[in-house]
Amino acid sequence: QVQLVQSGAEIKKPGSSVKVSCKASGGTFSSYSISWVRQAPGQGLEWMGRIIPIIGTPIYAQKLQGRITITADTSANTAYMELSSLTSEDTAVYFCARGDNGGYPLDYWGQGTLVTVSS
C-alpha cells in the first residue's frame, strides 16, 4: 500500500523559507511523478510543481518560479518542496501527491502540512 508521509506543521516569519518533506513507502519511488499542491484557508487547490525522481528535473508553476525548489532523494524515498521569501499569502496546507502506474497524476496523497506565515 503506497503511503506518503509529510513533515509536520511549520510557523514561519515573513521573508523566511520553509522546506516540507514527503516520504514514500509501499511502492517504487523513483519512476513516479511527485507533485506539490497547496490550499490556502477556505480556497481551492493550486498546483505548484512536480518532479519525477529518476529524471530529477522539476517543473514549476510560473507564479512560483524563482521561489520554489522541488527535489527528490531516491536513496531516502523522499521528495522535498522548499519555498522562499514567504509572505502571508503563502499560508496554506501543502500536499504532496504521487502519480499512478499509467502516468496519471495525484493518485496517492500525503496528509498535508500546514505552513503558517506570520510575524
Q: Hey, which residues between 4 and 43 contact other proteins (CB under 8 A)?
A: 35, 37
CA distance 15 to 29: 32
The reply to whether 62 sits near other proteins by the rule CB under 8 A is yes
Cell of 31: 519512476
Nearer to other proteins, 86 or 96 (CB): 96
What are the residues whose beta carbons fall under 8 Å from the beta carbon of 56, sequence distance 6 or more?
72
Options 9-17, 20-28, 81-89, 108-116: segment touching other proteins (CB under 8 A): 108-116
Q: Give the integer Cα–Cα distance in Å for 54 and 99.
A: 14
- x/- mask, other proteins, residues 65-104, rule CB under 8 A, reads ------------------------------x----x-x-x
**Nearest 10 degrees: Cα torsion 88, 16, 49, 29:** -130
Does residue number 44 form part of the binding site for other proteins (CB under 8 A)? yes
Is 112 among the residues that bind other proteins (CB under 8 A)? Answer: yes
